[in-house]
C-alpha cells in the first residue's frame, strides 16, 4: 500500500540529515540580521542628520534611506552565500545593466566607453 505521508516524511528527514535545512535557516537568519542592523544604523544616523539640518520630513527621509540600505544588505548577503550561487536575484540596477548590454549588442545604442 502506498504511504504518501511516509514518503514526504522520509524526504523531509533526509533533507534535514543532509544539513540543507540548516543552511537555509542560517541564510534566512543572516539576511534578517543584516537587514535589521543595516536599517537601524542607517535610519538612526540619517534621522539625526535630518533633524539637525532642518529637513521637512526627517522621519520619511530616514525611513527611505534605511530601506535602501536594508535592500543593499540583502543583495550583498544573497550574492555572497554558497547556497544561492546560480539562483538569480533581479533588482533595478541588475536589470538596467542587462538591458544596456542587449541594446548595445543589438546596435541600437553605443557604449561611450567602447571604440566604434
> Model confidence at 43, in pLDDT bands (50, 70, 90)?
very high
Let me know if residue 97 belongs to a domain: no
Residue 37: per-residue pLDDT: 94
> Model confidence at 36, in pLDDT bands (50, 70, 90)?
very high
Determine the 3-state secondary structure of 5 from DSSP: helix
Q: How many domains does the chain divide into?
A: 1
Domain membership of residue 34 as a residue range: 4-85
Mean pLDDT for the stretch of residues 28-48: 92
The C-alpha cell that represents 43 in the structure block = 535610519
Q: What's the full length of the chain, in residues? A: 116
Question: For 66-70, 74-78, 103-107, which range has the lowest pLDDT when averaged over its residues?
Answer: 103-107
Let me know if residue 109 belongs to a domain: no
Distance of CA 18 to the CA centre of its chain: 26
Contact between residue 34 and residue 76 where contact means Cβ atoms under 8 Å apart = yes
The C-alpha cell that represents 66 in the structure block = 534605511
Let me know if residue 79 belongs to a domain: yes
Taking all residues of the chain, what is their mean pLDDT, rounded to a whole number? 83
pLDDT digits (tens, 9 = 90+) for 1-32: 667 788 788 877 877 777 777 888 888 999 99
Let me know if residue 28 belongs to a domain: yes
Let me know if residue 47 belongs to a domain: yes
Let me know if residue 108 belongs to a domain: no
Looking at the predicted structure, is the pLDDT value of residue 50 above 80?
A: yes
Q: Where are the alpha helices (DSSP H) in 1-116?
A: 4-17, 20-53, 58-79, 92-105
Measured CA angle at 99 (ends 95, 102), to 5 deg: 140
Amino acid at each position: 500500500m502506498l504511504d504518501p505521508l511516509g514518503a514526504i516524511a522520509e524526504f523531509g528527514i533526509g533533507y534535514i540529515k543532509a544539513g540543507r535545512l540548516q543552511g537555509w535557516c542560517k541564510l534566512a537568519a543572516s539576511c534578517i540580521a543584516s537587514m535589521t542592523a543595516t536599517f537601524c544604523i542607517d535610519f538612526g544616523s540619517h534621522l539625526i542628520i535630518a533633524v539637525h539640518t532642518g529637513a521637512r520630513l526627517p522621519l520619511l527621509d530616514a525611513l527611505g534611506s534605511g530601506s535602501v540600505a536594508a535592500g543593499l544588505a540583502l543583495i550583498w548577503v544573497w550574492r555572497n552565500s554558497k547556497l544561492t550561487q546560480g539562483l538569480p536575484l533581479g533588482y533595478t540596477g541588475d536589470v538596467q545593466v542587462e538591458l544596456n548590454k542587449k541594446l548595445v549588442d543589438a546596435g541600437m545604442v553605443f557604449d561611450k566607453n567602447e571604440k566604434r
